[in-house]
Structure 1
Amino acid sequence: MIVVGVDGMRPGVLAAEWAAREAVLRGLPLNVVNVVPAWCLLGDLTGAIAGVGAWMRNGGEAALAEAAAAARRAAEKAAVETSLLGGDPRHELIELSKEADLLVVGDSGMGSLRGLLIGSVALGVAGHAYCDVVVVRGSATTSQAEVVVGVDGSDAQAGVLDFAFREAAARDAALRAVLAWNWRDVLGAGTLGDEPEDGRRALAEAMAGRRELFPDVRVSMEVVEGHPVDVLRQAAAQAELLVVGSRGHGALAGMVLGSVSQALLHVAPCPLAVVRTRR
């Protein structure tokens, strides 16, 4: 199942539309979820608080109806259901992610504070979800059928590449694998090689064997000098999807997200898939 969190704001509706199309591509049902404070769902509310609770429940139901209708318009074949839950949005979505194949959220709303580049819920679930997460940014539309995947030369990138290849194959899209070389991480320690050839070798090793598994996917590979956040943001300017791992170079001990994936949550120009990886 694919789970998408919505809150009645435009980013949530766009996330529901994207999730519906993805659900059809994967042949999975879609659960559209809205979360209200737990006390709103109590059955023994009285007085003024009962009116507030009813108002919040009605708002949640309206958000679900709007997002579900948008999802069905975006993908007529999608099997869409809705769920109104009580609690903290981040906690509830993370709990649902234990049984989900994919968790989708918009890039703002559901607890976001005015002035933040990305909603606190999107940031929280991307870092703690048990499944892969897609944060839908912008209009989620593009004129170019292409998936971009960031390759970092780490041992944890296999799942990231598998995810990217599957997405490209399902969308009949080209896949562009991009590796940024000769950049210093946020600690100022270490580089990924000193010459472009080091990057090309690491990229070729990472891609070895996968092109044979997905012979219909058109693959290109690029090694670009620069910081991976800047390199990947530019590479994905016209892409359908940008795929990165949840960890990567520059991740501090104890950080839930690597520095690259965390930064891209704020600046990615298209929907961003954060694939679960281990250190």
Structure 2
Amino acid sequence: MIVVGVDGLRPGVLAVEWAAREAVVRAVPLRLVNVVPAWCLHDGPTGAVADIGAWMRNGGKSALAEAAAAARRVVGTVAVETSLLGGDPRRELIEVSEDADLLVVGDSGMGALRGLLVGSVALGVAGHAHCDVVVVRASAAGPRPEVVVGVDGSAAQTAVLDFAFREAAVRDAELRAVTAWNWRDPLGGPEASERALAEALAGRREIFPDVRVRTEVVEGSPVDVLRHAAAQAGLLVVGSRGRGVLAGMVLGSVSQALLHVAPCPLVVVRGR
């Protein structure tokens, strides 16, 4: 099942459309979730407060109906379920992600503050969800059916590459595996990075023989290198915690920065 956070804003609609296509590719149902304050779903308040609660409930139901219609416009065969939940959007989405294969949100998030590059909901679920998370930015995906994956030699690299190869296979897309390096890199210079990248990809080339793979080792910061590499791509895949992340951090600095600047839908692979 793919769960989508619905907020009625344009990035949220784009997230629904992206998730609908993905649900058909994966042959799984789509669950659309809107979250309102918990008190809106309970009887008790009267007068103006009750009117506000009814307005928020109706707004949530309307956003869900519009999202379901958008999903069916994109892919008429997708199975769609809608849920209106009460509570904190981050907490509720994290809870429903326990039973999901993928959690998809827009970059504005539900209740995002004006001026933020990415909403607090997107940041929150990317760091705590029980499944992999996709953040769909308001900017359209690139024209090429290409999947870009960041390879960093971290412990999470296996899950990241597995996800990227599977996505490239089902999309019939080229996979572009990118490693960034600089002179302070403990793995060594570009030659050592190239060897490490080749070793990371070796076994998967046999498992996915039809996936076209292109490799790049580029000098620079991982954020800048991956942002540039994904400028025309359809999907960018990274791990939730990179190499050398500080103990206690729930989201690595690279994945956190890319939530703000990725030029295409960003997958943060969390694993189970």
* TM-score (normalised: structure 2): 0.97
Give aligned-pair identity as a percent: 78
1:216 corresponds to which residue?
A: 210
Instruction: Quickly say closer, same or farther: Cα 1:277–1:109, change in 2 above 3 A.
Output: closer
Q: Which amino acid aligns with 1:267?
A: V
Helix, strand or coil for the counterpart of 1:34? strand
Residue 244 of structure 1 aligns with an amino acid whose one-letter code is V
The offset of 1:128, in angstroms, is 0.4
Correspondence for 1:49: 49
Letter in 1 for 2:242: G
Aligned-residue Cα RMSD (Å) equals 1.3
SS at match of 1:155: coil
Residues 213-255 of structure 1: per-residue CA shift (max 9 Å, x gap): 1111111111111110000000000101000000103522211
Whole-angstrom distance in 1 between the partners of 2:36 and 2:183: 43
Q: Which residue of 2 aligns with 1:6?
A: 6
Equivalent-residue separation in structure 2 for 1:137 and 1:89 (angstroms): 18
Per the alignment, in what secondary structure is the counterpart of residue 114 of structure 1?
Answer: coil
2:99 counterpart SS class: coil
Change (3 A) 1:109 1:156: closer
What is the deviation of 1:139? Answer: 3.9
C-alpha contact 1:182 1:192 (8 A) present in aligned 2: no
Point out the more displaced range, 72-81 or 88-97: 72-81
Partner in structure 1 of residue 137 of structure 2: 137
In the alignment, is residue 201 of structure 1 matched against residue 192 of structure 2? no
Question: How many angstroms apart in 1 are the aligned matches of 2:36 and 2:180?
Answer: 42
1:93 counterpart residue number:
93
Equivalent-residue separation in structure 2 for 1:145 and 1:128 (angstroms): 29
CA contact (8 A) 1:243 1:274 kept: yes
Query: Match for 2:20: what amino acid?
Result: A
Paired residue for 1:232? 226
What secondary structure does 1:209 align onto?
helix
* CA deviation profile, 1:140-164 (whole Å, cap 9, x unmatched): 4331010000000123200000000
Does 2:270 align with 1:276?
Answer: yes
**1-structure distance, mates of 2:261, 2:49:** 40
Offset of 1:48 from its aligned partner? 1.7
**TM-aligned CA deviation for residue 277 of structure 1:** 5.3
Q: How far did residue 10 of structure 1 move?
A: 0.6
Specify the code of the residue in structure 1 equivalent to 2:72: R
In the alignment, structure 1 segments of 5+ residues that lack a partner are 185-190
For 2:73, the equivalent position in structure 1 comes to 73
- Pick which of 238-247 and 36-45 moved more: 36-45
Q: Quick one: which amino acid aligns to residue 217 of structure 1?
A: V
Give the direction of change, closer, same or farther, for the CA distance of 1:68–1:35 in structure 2 (3 Å limit). same
AA partner of residue 213 (structure 1): I
Q: Which residue is equivalent to 1:154?
A: 154
Letter in 2 for 1:205: E
User: Residues 18 and 140 of structure 1 are in contact (CA less than 8 Å); yes or no, is this contact kept in structure 2?
Assistant: no
User: Are 1:267 and 2:270 matched, yes or no?
Assistant: no
**Counterpart code for 1:208:** A
Q: TM-score, with normalisation over the residues of structure 1? A: 0.94
**What does residue 114 of structure 1 align with?**
114
The one-letter code of the counterpart of 1:193 is L
Cα deviation code 1:8-45 (max 9, x no counterpart):
11111110000100000100000011000000000233
